Structure 1
Amino acid sequence: MLLSNPESFSIQQDDHFYFIAGYTEGGAPYGVTWEEHEAQSALAKGCSISEGESQMKELILSERQLQDLIETYDMFMDGIEHFLNIDTGEIVRINSFDMDDEDEALSETIEEGYNEVYF
């Protein structure tokens, strides 16, 4: 993740998480584990990974996109689903209770690219 001013953004870490994105209502942290971070670092250095393991794709976000991602991750509403397009960094929203034609088309696009482009 590249930020325009890395010094202005400090990350929270612990023994399990390399990056703590936030906390659940019960106080449990969530984010990127050290294992995930080390796998990404190995890929960046050109190391091979074992067969069957998935490769991580580098996600480059602006500070604004990162803030939008964190805010969206913390937001939960029944019937509203958010998806991150890892190619563009854009976060899209679908209202599954009251879908219009745009939501239907976006839903199909997300379904086709789920776990590849959209997460």
Structure 2
Amino acid sequence: MNKYFKTSDAKNFAFYKVPKALFEEKYKSVSTDAKMLYGLLLDRMYLSVKNGWIDKQGRVYQYFTIKSAQEKLHFGHEKICKLFSELETSDLILRKKQGQGKPSIIYLKQF
């Protein structure tokens, strides 16, 4: 027997938000998977602020490793790398490499 959602059930769930703007003409070439990754990154912004990860220019940054993205989205290494590159090419993120063994700093750009 299927259980249907009731009004009282709505408060029991947390959601990832993917901005509607990413589904407009400007971002039509961005894959749905890349849009989902952007939604995950957007969700993590509150952690960055909480951790004080703000640069000298007042920009919030975050760390989200390829491995973490693989665990969340259940894709392989190559696919995740492609999605990050897609977000960079679409001007939705900026990644700064820190050096060997350290995760890249990720700046989320406004859409």
**Which has more helix, going by share of residues?**
2
- Could you say which structure has the greater relative contact order, defined with CA pairs below 8 angstroms and 6 or more residues apart? 2
Normalised by the length of structure 1, the TM-score is 0.24
**Which has more strand, going by share of residues?**
1
